[in-house]
Amino acid sequence: MHSLDDLFQRLSHSPFRQRFKLGSAEYQYCLSKGDEVIRQHATDFISARLAPAEPPNDGRQTPMRGHPVFIAQHATATCCRSCLYKWHGVNQHQEMTAEQQARAIAAILRWLHQEMQRPAPPAKPANRNTPVCKKSRPPSRSSLICCE
């Protein structure tokens, strides 16, 4: 198993992974919830959505937005079992071990800590916060699924 330093080094060479950044809402969410809550959410997401031998909707189980941990999962390739295999050497079709889950969570938290070192992203203008219907979402965004 490679160190997280190696992993972050490799991730830094992936334009796909580098695209993921915390938005203003996710940044503020991290600030307001604090480390322990975020760690608990990451633990819950990994154990429910990634750890089973055959996770439901594998490859689509991690949304592209809506929670800072989701973004961190895409950025650290802990988003689906095929990325976990390619980037972390976690075998597919087997339940993740406790160590493998702990490592995925550690990668997510490290990435979030890194992001939180940056200045807060600017808040979006108020009119962009109004809910948008599916139709108005750019197709490239909603069809952007894992991965590389």
Question: Is 109 or 146 the residue whose CB approaches Zn ion more closely?
Answer: 146
Question: Is 46 or 146 the residue whose CB approaches Zn ion more closely?
Answer: 146
Contact of 96 with 43, CB cutoff 8 Å: no
To Zn ion, the closest distance from the beta carbon of 33 in angstroms equals: 24
Question: Is 63 or 124 the residue whose CB approaches Zn ion more closely?
Answer: 63
To Zn ion, the closest distance from the beta carbon of 81 in angstroms equals: 8
Binding status of residue 11 toward Zn ion by CB under 5 A? no
Q: Kindly state the number of chain residues that form the binding site for Zn ion, as judged by CB under 5 A.
A: 5
- Calculate the CA 43 to chain-centre distance: 12
Q: Which of 2, 37, 5 is nearest to 111 (CA)?
A: 5
DSSP code string of 82-96: HHHHHHH-PPTTSPP
